[in-house]
Amino acid sequence: MLEDLPVAIVVSTLGFVLGAICGGTAQRTNFCTMGAISDIVFMGDFNRFRSWMLATAIAIIGSQGLHAVGLIDLSQSIYLLTTLGWAGAIIGGLMFGFGMTMAGGCGNKTLVRLGSGNLKSLVVAIILGIFAYMTLRGLIGPVRLELEQLTNIDLKAAGIESQAIADILASVIAIEVGTLRLVVAAIFGGGLLIFCFKDPEFRNSPKNIFAGAVFGLAVVAGWYITGVIGNDDFEPVPLASLTFIAPAGEALQYLMTFTGSTINFGIAVIGGVIVGSFVAAKVSGEFRIEFFVSGDDMIRHLYGAALMGTGGVLALGCTIGQGVTGMSTLGLGSLIALVSIVSGAVLGLKYIEEGSFNGALAAVFGRN
């Protein structure tokens, strides 16, 4: 039956199912990238961080495997452009990381909480989506384009095929790029697996292992859905996988202009995450209506959402979009964005703890 439908509808349907699986998994396992960083900063607990890194490791190995056998071409993704947007990755990553601590969670967690009845997350999702779209095509768009024009590095002019770490290394090391790609994948993917499973506490945490495995495999599945099933000769679907910031803005536009818009993989995943977490919360009896506890709480969530929407577009993704999906391409920009997001989140958590930027900076850099 699916073969009779337009390829875009098939891809979107599968994206919805994938999103629902991820949403239900996150709701039941408490998979949360911001929570992972918070656990480290405040409790020295790396379990949820290892779950996140397990997802990244599986995504790297699976995605690079699909590329190696020729099923997909990762160079067609937005993460391996021939222009390295290092400034956007740093500035946007810091903004997103800080913003998600103010808003109480990353893009994925916001959608999961929304599905579980948290109305604060409804407000966050709307503001995040508005600012994401403003940065993509609206009021903030010209500023983004100017930043890119002033700071982006044209790798093609230097004879480098893309910002893939393997391509960059191939420009200075006399080794075939395909071999380098396998070596880099083994170093990153294998290294992260060792980091995760060397810890006995994590090895005895089936919930965290399961969550990491689901999200990692979901990213691989996303590449397959858009790159293989969506590879139509007449209407090819853009190569993509899990990411939640730009699609949140597109989802708002789709809701407002339904008759003149077309659903895509990213929008469908957004809807799937909300529905999946809703079903999981209802089945488990954890569905609860929640709202802001004070005016200050609302203001913090509002500017956090604005920072997430703007920063996520500047950085080309969020903790999942860059931290798992982007990293699966082994792009240098994704690595820069991931480090910046984590750094911004640490600063945000210290800001909450200390109550001021000076106190947060002093705590982060160890100054008295």
Q: How do residues 89-113 score in pLDDT, each as one tens digit?
A: 999 999 999 999 999 999 999 999 9
Of the pLDDT bands very low, low, confident and very high (cuts 50, 70, 90), residue 232 is confident
State residue 75's pLDDT score: 94
The pair of three-digit structure tokens given for residue 149, joined into one six-digit string: 């024009």
The strand pair at 83-84 and 153-154 is best described as: antiparallel
Report the C-alpha gap between 338 and 334 in whole angstroms.
6
Q: Which DSSP category does 36 fall into?
A: H
- Confidence (pLDDT) at 234: 82
pLDDT above 60: residue 368: no
Q: Inform me whether the pLDDT recorded for 2 exceeds 80.
A: no
**Helix-helix angle 86-103:295-314, to 10 degrees:** 160
Closest CA to 330 of 109, 178, 172: 178
Q: Look at residue 242 and tell me whether its pLDDT is greater than 90.
A: yes
Tell which residue, 143, 63, 100, has the closest CA to residue 248: 100
CA torsion sign for 262, 265, 271, 276 is: positive
Going by pLDDT thresholds of 50, 70 and 90, the confidence category of residue 359 is confident
Residue 363 has pLDDT above 80, yes or no: no
User: Is the pLDDT confidence value at 261 over 80?
Assistant: no
Mean of the pLDDT values across residues 229-253? 92
> Which pLDDT belongs to residue 258?
77
* Cβ pair 75, 162 in contact under 8 A: yes
Residue 334, pLDDT above cutoff 60: yes
pLDDT at 174 (0 to 100) = 81
Return the CA Rg of the chain: 20
> Average pLDDT in the 174-191 region?
94
Ranges of beta strands (E only) in 70-176 are 83-84, 153-154
Q: Which helix or strand (DSSP H or E) is residue 333 part of?
A: helix 332-354
Min mean pLDDT across 76-85, 96-105, 312-321, 350-359 is at 350-359
| Count of helices and strands (H, E) across the chain | 18, 2
Average pLDDT over residues 179-204: 97
Banded model confidence at residue 367, pLDDT cuts 50, 70, 90: low
Residue 64: predicted pLDDT: 97
Find tokens 């990153």 and name the residue. Answer: 188
Task: Specify whether the CB–CB gap between 79 and 327 falls below 8 A.
Answer: no
DSSP of 242-279, one letter per residue? ---SHHHHHHHHHHHSGGG----HHHHHHHHHHHHHHH
- Mean pLDDT for 271-277 is 98
pLDDT computed for residue 355 by the predictor: 76
Cα 219 from Cα 77, distance rounded (Å): 13
Structure confidence by residue, pLDDT tens digits, 7-23: 999 999 999 999 999 99
- For residue 4, pLDDT over 80 is answered with no
Find all residues with CB under 8 Å of 340, minimum gap 6, and list them.
89, 90, 91, 92, 93, 94, 97, 315
pLDDT tier at 1, thresholds 50, 70, 90: low
- In contact, 51 and 261? CB cutoff 8 Å: no
Check residues 362 and 156 and name the one with the higher pLDDT.
156
Torsion of CA 181, 51, 85, 313, to 10 degrees: 140
Enter the DSSP assignment of 237: P
Q: Is residue 239 within 8 Å of residue 226, measured between CB atoms? A: yes
User: What are residue 261's phi and psi, to 5 degrees?
Assistant: -125, 165
pLDDT digits (tens, 9 = 90+) for 71-94: 999 999 999 999 999 999 999 999
Other Cβ atoms within 10 Å of 44 Cβ, number: 7
Q: 354 pLDDT band (50/70/90 cuts)? A: confident
Q: How confident is the model at residue 347 (pLDDT cuts 50, 70, 90)?
A: very high
**Is residue 269 predicted with pLDDT exceeding 90?**
yes
Task: Write down the mean pLDDT value for the chain.
Answer: 94
For residues 188, 239, 126, 308, the Cα torsion angle rounded to the nearest 10 degrees is 30
Q: Residue 238's pLDDT band (boundaries 50, 70, 90)? A: very high
> Tell me, what's the pLDDT at 286?
95
Indicate if the pLDDT at residue 115 is higher than 90: yes
Domain ranges of the chain: 2-338
pLDDT of residue 361: 73
Residue 240 has pLDDT above 90, yes or no: yes
What pLDDT band is residue 298 in, cutting at 50, 70 and 90? very high
Please provide the size of the chain in residues. 368
What is residue 290's DSSP assignment? Answer: B
Backbone angles phi, psi at 6, to 5 degrees: -60, 145
Average pLDDT, integer, range 114-127:
96
